[in-house]
Structure 1
Amino acid sequence: MNHFTSAHTVGIPVTDQDRALEFYTKTLGFTLVVDAPLPQLGGRWIVVAAPDGGANLALTPGAGSVDTGIRLGTPDAAVAHQHLVDEQVSTSELLSWPGVPPMFSFRDLDGNTLYVVQD
């Protein structure tokens, strides 16, 4: 029996929620969905979303520096890669093989690894 129908929010541990919120909204272009006090977490419940939908990202208080496994879609991986390079974000090289969508990885300000794949 299937009890689950979707994934709504994926948590990313960050050491400074304000700094992370600025990075995810200004550098990556996500929009703020929720920013509410949550003393049980030792900070706030901050949720951001990609403009075209998909699972939301929660910027949760934590140690950071994890491989999130999160794949972000983009219509043009080369343009997204150059944008992050221009913003001085730590990125891998842009990978492109015949028959495989272009892709690369990057690290946020806490060292969390995320991946970008061309849609």
Structure 2
Amino acid sequence: MRILSWIFRGLGSVVKRESVKRTCRMSRVSICFIQETKLEVITKDDVRKFWRDVNCEFKFVAAVGRSGGLLIMWDKNEFILSKVWSVDSLLAIEGKWVKEDVDVVLINVYAPNSVLEQSSFWG
């Protein structure tokens, strides 16, 4: 299994989207976490453009204005989703790694930068 986690600072431009596409395809990752998408909506068509084939699933948390936004994409032959939890800065998925036959919880977090907000978030 290959996992990629990336703070991207916006997926709005064609250049950045192509970078995600190229990296996911060349690396042949099983799962990809992206933080700070800065997107309020992510469609299945968007994700299919990033992934190497149509055999993918995804979950996302929308950005609030021009900040935040989380995306998890995965190969559905390698990971089977059973549960999802999400809040503004956290997206967690529970499921099974198929080949290893292991149950896992995977968490994509984009924590606030200020110490006061971090204290509240992690508390």
Same fold (TM over 0.5): no
1 or 2 for the larger relative contact order (CA 8 Å, sep ≥6)? Answer: 1
Structure with the higher strand share, 1 or 2: 1
TM-score, reference length from structure 2: 0.29
